Amino acid sequence: TDTIAGIPRPRLAAIATREAERYAASRPKAAEALAKGAGNYLGGVPMHWMADWPMPHLPLVAKAQGAKLTDIDGHRIDDFCLGDTGSMFGHSPAPVAKAIKAQAGRGLTYMLPTEAAMEAGRLLTQRFGAFRWQIATTATDANRFSLRVARAVTGRPKVLVFNGCYHGTLDDTMVELVNGTPANRAGLVGQVQDLTRAATVAEFNDLAGVEALLKQGDVAAILTEPVMTNSCMVLPAEGFHAGLRALATQYGALLIIDETHTISSGLGGYTAVHGLDPDMFVVGKCVAGGMPTAVWGMRQSVADRFAAYDETRESGHSGMGTTLSANPMQFACLTATLRDVMTPENYAHMEAGANRLATGLAAAITRHGAPWHVVRVGARVEFICAPGPLKNGTEAHAAHQPQVEAAVHTALLNRGCLIAPFHNMMLISPATTDRQIDRLIGAFDAILTDLFP
């Protein structure tokens, strides 16, 4: 067709070019620094996929505070990406910065706990519910270790995930449906295993599909986000989570809820706000205010089964836990975040700001007659360049418009607003102001004025 997401292709191309030129012209220092330093890195960047940001080249950050970034070319940027959730509570929240200073001279890693570790355990239970906790460094690892326990206690091989999911780089979940059949995800680097031997895939919001897979009797755990956030956002249908819980129980699989992104929902995450009842619970990224930390926990009933299992195995390499995890700096930051940052007041501010943003973006979409929609999960807002609501990962994949998104992201950054790359996600932190939100709405409206004249 000659339009894409409702925009005539030549118009989109012209605006993309205009915005790319404007971006490049305003960031000579970043371009020069990248040209000088990039040769030392694979693909010119410290993580290869940083090269996939849609701008002509990356900005280099000089500093960040609250909901603002300053780049080395002197641009002050309203940050709605917030490290794709790692900094959802703002950059360097004051209680966390203070905790880092206090711990900085007392050692950074010992493989032994601290008093703060004991306090963190208490706060985790208070905030997220009665789980037996473990500390990891990334949500990827927290999911990986949860799956190990689920397989150990059930004696079954498979994880059931939803098409289009993302739970980190653990291999087990890197599967997708191809014409209705599970297969390794396209694009995996160097993957030589057939991942479908230990994973299976259903569509989100399809309880009948889930039941058909559980009936085979080889599923150790269902691993899901409460809301699919990693493609275009997909909300659970009424009764979906209750249905998952009931089916998991009926067929003897564990239910693992990954709250790494949906912790935006409110105090205690989507699980607390919507009364979910998982067997295992995972959250990472922002849980220690941006200090690399993740936690995973299991109900006492699972802990009891694991204890029985643990007695039957040789002691030694379990395949769980990494050297730098559960270090004193993580506990200092985890304690500070749970106590002083994840507060009802902060969540109320985030919720109100996100509501303001979602309402403003939706109004702009309506005003311009764009065939787009907006979804919100607490402090997390996404505009999607297709009609909605979306039902599952297949629909979310089809709704994704990388060309449109690339032009819009660059245009937003030219207007001082950074949103998360690879989709259209925006986060509201406790430090984000109404003025910043209104600037983003204004910039979005101006871009739609160009795209839908």
- At residue 170, φ and ψ (nearest 5 deg) are -65, 135
Spell out the residues 6+ positions from residue 41 whose beta carbon is closer than 8 angstroms to its own.
Answer: none
DSSP of 27-79, one letter per residue? -HHHHHHHHHHGGGSGGGSSSGGGGGSSSSS---EEEEEBTEEEETT--EEEE
Residue number with CB closer to ligand PMP (71 or 141)? 141
| Tokens 């087990």, residue located | 172
* Binding-site member from 154, 230, 325, 392 for ligand PMP (CB under 6 A): 230
Amino acid residing at 72? I
Residue number with CB closer to ligand PMP (400 or 415)? 400
Residues 151-190: x/- map of binding to ligand PMP (CB under 6 A)?
A: ---------------xxx----------------------
Residue number with CB closer to ligand PMP (23 or 53)? 53
Quote the least distance from Cβ 67 to ligand PMP, whole Å. Answer: 20
Q: Which two tokens mark 155?
A: 């004696």
Say if residue 389 is preceded by a cis peptide, omega within 30 of 0.
Answer: yes
Q: Any idea what DSSP says for residue 237? A: P
Quote the least distance from Cβ 173 to ligand PMP, whole Å. Answer: 9
Query: Residue 80 and residue 65: Cα distance in Å, rounded?
Result: 12
Residue number with CB closer to ligand PMP (261 or 349)? 261
Quote the least distance from Cβ 224 to ligand PMP, whole Å. Answer: 9
* Binding-site member from 15, 123, 135, 139 for ligand PMP (CB under 6 A): 139
Query: Residue 228 and residue 425: Cα distance in Å, rounded?
Result: 12
Cα-based angle 366, 422, 351 (whole degrees, multiple of 5): 55
Beta pairing, strands 158-162 & 219-224: parallel
* Binding-site member from 114, 224, 260, 429 for ligand PMP (CB under 6 A): 260
Report which secondary-structure segment, H or E, holds 159.
strand 158-162
Q: Which stretch binds ligand PMP (CB under 6 A): 23-31, 256-264, 305-313, 358-366?
A: 256-264
Residues within window 280-309 making contact with ligand PMP, judged by CB under 6 A: 284-285
Q: Which two tokens mark 219?
A: 């599923």
C-alpha distances in angstroms, 110 versus 113, 324, 328, 330, 380? 8, 8, 7, 12, 36
Residues within window 197-226 making contact with ligand PMP, judged by CB under 6 A: 225
Query: Residue 283 and residue 185: Cα distance in Å, rounded?
Result: 24
Assess 405 for contact with ligand PMP (CB under 6 A): no
Residue number with CB closer to ligand PMP (19 or 141)? 141
Quote the least distance from Cβ 98 to ligand PMP, whole Å. Answer: 24
Quote the least distance from Cβ 322 to ligand PMP, whole Å. Answer: 12
Residue number with CB closer to ligand PMP (143 or 436)? 143
Residues within window 341-360 making contact with ligand PMP, judged by CB under 6 A: none
Quote the least distance from Cβ 122 to ligand PMP, whole Å. Answer: 24
Assess 235 for contact with ligand PMP (CB under 6 A): no
Residue number with CB closer to ligand PMP (121 or 284)? 284
Give the closest residue to 133 by CA, choosing from 58, 256, 124: 124
Residue number with CB closer to ligand PMP (298 or 441)? 298
Spell out the residues 6+ positions from residue 7 whose beta carbon is closer than 8 angstroms to its own.
Answer: 404, 451, 452
Residue number with CB closer to ligand PMP (260 or 264)? 260
Asked whether the beta carbons of 355 and 127 are under 8 A apart, the reply is no
Quote the least distance from Cβ 167 to ligand PMP, whole Å. Answer: 4
Asked whether the beta carbons of 352 and 435 are under 8 A apart, the reply is no
**Is residue 391 packed enough to be buried (19+ CB in 10 Å), middle (13-18) or exposed (0-12)?**
middle
Assess 261 for contact with ligand PMP (CB under 6 A): yes
Residue number with CB closer to ligand PMP (23 or 166)? 166
Assess 269 for contact with ligand PMP (CB under 6 A): no
Asked whether the beta carbons of 328 and 109 are under 8 A apart, the reply is yes
Quote the least distance from Cβ 57 to ligand PMP, whole Å. Answer: 23
Assess 258 for contact with ligand PMP (CB under 6 A): yes
Say if residue 28 is preceded by a cis peptide, omega within 30 of 0.
Answer: no
Residue number with CB closer to ligand PMP (12 or 334)? 334
Assess 383 for contact with ligand PMP (CB under 6 A): no
Q: How many residues bind ligand PMP (CB under 6 A)?
A: 14
Assess 140 for contact with ligand PMP (CB under 6 A): yes
Give the closest residue to 332 by CA, choosing from 153, 161, 141, 118: 118
Residue 396's SS3 state is helix
Q: Which stretch binds ligand PMP (CB under 6 A): 30-38, 137-145, 313-321, 326-334?
A: 137-145
* Binding-site member from 103, 114, 138, 392 for ligand PMP (CB under 6 A): 138
Q: Site residues (CB under 6 A) for ligand PMP?
A: 138-140, 143, 166-168, 225, 230, 258, 260-261, 284-285
